[in-house]
Structure 1
Amino acid sequence: MGATHLPATEFDGTSTDDQREAAAEARMGDPGTPMVQLLGPDGTLGTDPVFSEYAQRLDAEKLRGFYADMAAIRRFDQEATALQRQGQLALWVPLTGQEAAQIGSGRASQPQDYIFPTYREHGVALTRNVDLAELLRQFRGVSNGGWNPKETNFHLYTLVLAAQTPHAVGYAMGIQRDQKFAAAAADQSVGQAPEPKAAVMVYFGDGASSEGDVHESMVFASSYNAPVVFFCQNNHWAISVPTSVQTRIPLSNRAKGYGFPGIRVDGNDVIAVHAVTEWALEHAREGKGPVLIEAFTYRVGAHTTADDPTKYRESAEEAAWRAKDPLERLAKYLRAEGLADDAFFAQVQTAGDELAAYVRKTTYDLETPDIRTAFANTYVEAHPLVAEELAWFEEYSAGFADQATVDQAETGAAN
């Protein structure tokens, strides 16, 4: 099951239902563009001349782990969405539909690798042992981040579109330099074990691929042969703008212009994603340069909880992609091969509910920090302008305190 090819058609608001359904199918593939797929929507495992070797490294325990991870992050996503709807979060960025792209790629990384996410990589965060409850601190507005990147080699979320890509390339160039000096030092030291080679992986979406930051990052990465993997989750919609408006060629083909490999993979196939990412990271660690991976997937829900996808896309398109659900296809395979039974799936569901309960309680228990800490964190040392602004804020706040005293007094008199 190597490449998948489907006709490319588009629809407009006046198309018939058949045309719309055909267009929905068309967005799942582009003519002439190979797409690595190992596990099909029917749960059948195919072969690939390059990446089957990597898939064969996966035993039953790892495959069950993939499913457990994807189920856990989907349950977390549902709970976070509910918390936002109930006013506990200011905003939430769903990932449902993209679980395989994130779990497959995240599990292919090694502890020494450094990851730069956008704002939707909750599944990757899970694979890097980030406390998922910490993710919600930023979306609740009580923290500028939520976790310490040094502990997990998973960087803080980047809300500015594509800004993480030049950061990632710069970090990769730093790794490259450090490893060069470490190798020279190891040559002079007898019996000193070399540090494991590391690479950087940076995530972005199809919409971010239109930003100049991505172009500049790939130019630098190629010029310096930096050990970085660009992982594009093509979920087909940059908010309300379809990929067909973003690019006239498959995004993976752009790598040719920079002189490094580009691979399109079925982003709903966790086995293929893991295989392709494992190969790409090995390629980068061994000094062979950058790789671009385009994970061909779909955002089933809204861009954020402030978005309404029914305003710009058709239900037929969503239905066609739901039939390619990454959890369902892996579950079919696990059951067909006798690698998982009802007890396993029940256990996964229980674990997901326990995670959701933990996340909910932790979110309720979060305390809003004193806003004065924001003034203290602006500069390392005291700054006269910040001190002036703080004095104004305290005077302004005191006015509300006085009004509260008046209101309380008036209420007491009325009683």
Structure 2
Amino acid sequence: MNEPTPHAPGTDAHGDHQSDQALDMIQLLDHTGQLTAHPDYTPRITHLDADALRRMHRDMVLARTFDTEATSLQRQGELALFAPALGQEAAQVGSAWALRPQDYVFPSYREHAVVQARGVDPANILRIFRGIDHGGWDPADHNVHLYTLVIGSHTLHATGYAMGLQRDGLVGSGDPDRDAAVVTYFGDGATSQGDTNEALVFAAVNNAPVVLFCQNNQWAISEPTTRQSRVPIVERGRGFGVPSVRVDGNDVLACYAVTLEALERARTGGGPTFVEAYTYRMGAHTTSDDPTRYRSAAEEEHWRRRDPIDRFTTFLRSEGLLTEEHTDALAAEAEALAVRLREQVRAMDAPPTSSMFDDVYATPHSDVERERAWFARYEASFADAAADGSGATASEGAAR
């Protein structure tokens, strides 16, 4: 008997979009900006007052400002590449707000809103995309690891770090200012990688205090989820015995509530959680990608009507929490951020090429020092060849 052909999550067998309710996911704010009640998760947002909600909204708006400005800078030749996060602001800001200072974050390369919400200067995020830095910030300053460009590899790092917290007695002690957890962010495409599957194995069998937060934005570059999984992505976590939940990734309140619960469970010794935040990448995979080659205008329009910032803005206005004064002040702050990003990025000079040998290991290493010395001779050979007029090639000069 032939098995039915799988279809993309969010569509029926004919490719027509399903309703949000049909997706069986946690939602506290529907796509029209109306609150919906949930017996388990609504109580987790009741402590958010008007100021907190406005600050959450601010983080989302500034993250999009950063995204828009960085994309423009790349188009102007100021960045080598950029990975937009347009449309994923709710998943990132909501989950980041659930973190405590002692928690640790392992991002991939698209978690701009998470990193900003943790206090990293957004200009520093662009150092790696300008090609002048291996990372851009000190991970110890905000408990945020550097971006990882190798798909899925950081999920193993996150799980190992979580196991370290566990063995250091920083989990389940009962001290809320001491107990910590880890959250790692990755996309739907990363769930097809071996490293991510190994991370799920280690997280499950070691009951590690880690939240594996998958932003299912529907597309792994040009590959849809139908080419990666015959079941919803959330089922991959369950297959490893990890408690798993699917949340509306365009609902900032639901993402906050779900991540808050998962982190609380992790800190108290309850083990890992797999979260599938069902969202959509409204822009390109990177600035070298053309999404019009593999997805339809109708699909993009469907998701534009579910824009996470528009949804949250509608809610705040309906509750009388977002006045014209607030929006004007935020618009001015966003413009100031855009100006600062342009100025700082254009002022970023390339470091000495020899800096590539710095910070490879925590302590001096003979192999690295030998390579550093060779490279110094290699660079000097260019100057030597120019000085003696020999016209020798760089490799010939390095050999002399």
Match of 1:86 among 59, 76, 81: 76
CA distance 1:253–1:376, shift in 2 (3 Å): closer
> How far apart, in 2, do the equivalents of 1:257 and 1:374 lie?
41
The corresponding residue for 1:368 is 350
Query: 1:328 aligned to 2:310?
Result: yes
Q: Please state how far the C-alpha of 1:194 moved relative to its aligned partner.
A: 8.1
The Cα of 1:390 is off from its aligned counterpart by 3.1
Q: Where do 1:105-254 residues align within 5 Å?
A: 105-179=95-169, 196-254=178-236
Question: Which residue identity does 1:298 align to in structure 2?
Answer: Y
1:396 to 379, 382, 395: 382
Aligned residue type for 1:140: R
1:277 aligns with 2:259: yes
Taking the aligned partners of 2:178 and 2:272, their CA distance within structure 1 comes to: 18
How far off its partner does 1:35 sit? 0.3
Question: What's the counterpart of residue 9 of structure 1?
Answer: 13
**Letter paired with 2:13:** T
Aligned residue runs from structure 1 range 295-374, under 5 A: 295-374=277-356
* 1:318-339 alpha-carbon deviations (Å, 9 max, x no partner): 0000000111111111111111
- TM-score of the superposition, structure 1-length normalised? 0.86
CA distance in 2, matches of 1:398, 1:378: 29
Query: Which secondary structure state, in structure 2, belongs to the residue aligned with residue 304 of structure 1?
Result: coil
Aligned partner of 2:237 in structure 1 is: 255
Deviation at 1:399, TM superposition (A): 4.3
Asked if structure 2 preserves the Cα contact closer than 8 Å seen for 1:206 and 1:234, the reply is yes
- Following superposition, the deviation at residue 29 of structure 1 comes to 5.8
Distance 2:56 2:292 in 1: 31
Note if contact 1:135-1:146 (Cα within 8 Å) is conserved in structure 2. Answer: yes
Query: What is the RMSD computed on CA atoms of the aligned residues?
Result: 2.3
Deviation string 1:198-235 (CA, Å, 9 cap, x unpaired) is 00000000001100111111111110100000000000
Any conservation in 2 of the 1:173–1:224 contact (CA below 8 Å)? yes
Cα distance between partner residues in 2 of 1:114 and 1:401: 52
Q: C-alpha separation between the residues in 1 aligned to 2:170 and 2:309?
A: 42
**How far, CA to CA, are the matches of 1:398 and 1:302 in structure 2?**
46
Asked whether the 8 Å contact 1:206–1:238 carries over to 2, the reply is: yes
1:252–1:402 distance in 2 versus 1, CA, 3 Å? farther
Q: Which runs of 4+ in 1 moved over 4 A?
A: 28-31, 180-183, 375-379, 397-403
When residues 308 and 398 of structure 1 are mapped into structure 2, their CA distance, relative to the original with a 3 A threshold, is farther
Q: Secondary structure at the match of 1:233?
A: strand
Count of residues in correspondence between the two structures: 378
Distance 1:288 1:396, change over 3 A: same
For 1:40-59, list aligned pairs within 5 A: 40-59=30-49
Q: Which deviations, in whole Å up to 9, do the C-alpha atoms of 1:107-148 show, x marking residues without a partner?
A: 111100000000000000111000110001111111111100
SS of 2:317's partner is: helix
- Tell me how far apart the structure 1 counterparts of residues 251 and 237 of structure 2 sit (CA, whole Å): 22
The match for 1:64 is 54
